Structure 1
Amino acid sequence: MEQRNRELERQRRNHQYRYQQDYYRRWLAQQSRWNASRHDYYNDPYYYTAYNYRYNYGGRWYNTNRYGRDLLQQAIRDGYQEGWYAGQADRNDRWRFDYQGNYGYMDGSYGYNGYYVSRNDYRYYFQQGFERGYRDGYYRRYQYGRYDNGMAVILPAILGAILNISRY
């Protein structure tokens, strides 16, 4: 992270530097809240709820329940919002379009609590949202989402098309 910060400073990408610092602070605060709450597996309804959804990731089908579904939807939402802010920062820095080189995209763990779905699955869906948010933020358009009450929000139809989850 420190090396990346120095590189952004060297490139005079002040907006992206601030975005990355904000992303990291939000990530740390989120981790701190989760660590403080200590998960109680015995009282978690996830472990007693039958799988009734399936989704396709990497050419394979996976089963989950509504808690896993909700987490994957949140991954896309969080990814879109983070991507939107990152795209705005790159545009404001007059930097080239590069969502894959962004720290938030590479990390892909913002919002992941370690439960319900694998980290790889979460990261994949976060990145799908991030890419679309970055495109909208960078190009200042609303093809995949909208800006509502101070937040970038992905459109429900786009979220559904990305996740393509089905109930069985």
Structure 2
Amino acid sequence: MRRRRGCGTLCAVQVREFRDGDWPQVWAIVREVVRARETFPYDPGMTEAQGRATWIETPPGLTVVAVDGDRVLGTAKTGPNRAGPGGHVSTASFMVAAPERGRGVGTALLRHAVDRAAADGYAAMQFNAVVETNESAVALYRRHGFEVVGTVPRAFEHPTRGRVGLHVMYREFGAR
């Protein structure tokens, strides 16, 4: 990834498949995001082993990282939302390191996930639990064609805002 002069956001983010050597940096991001208790409904007391089992996907799922050289800026995991008759719908989750937020890393990860899901033959992508107070994520997803198709009221215990809703967001890729 290279930054151009005067570029307030990242001009080009390299997204690549996760490698085992990335785990320490990925775990630092996962741990930070989960312990903040603001955007993910994961147990903030999860151990590193639990974090790895939760975040690192096996085929047909995939875990990727957004990098600047050897530095991991963010990570995503993708795969089928459900098996069997629901297997034509994909899902994804995204985490970006705090210093990199607002600089295009999440956008690059989202584009990668959507492009891969469409290329892999999925008919749509669904996010099952987008915290409604995560305004930057909700806005990003809307800009990329996702709609809120439902909200589960008071389903997420936010550390400062109390119980807030979890959105289900959805985007179809086209008729297949």
Q: From the CA coordinates, give the structure whose radius of gyration is larger.
A: 1
Bigger proportion of residues as strand: 2
Bigger relative CO (Cα 8 Å, ≥ 6 apart): 1
Q: Same fold (TM over 0.5)?
A: no
Bigger proportion of residues as helix: 1
What TM-score do the two structures reach when normalised by structure 1? 0.33
What TM-score do the two structures reach when normalised by structure 2? 0.32
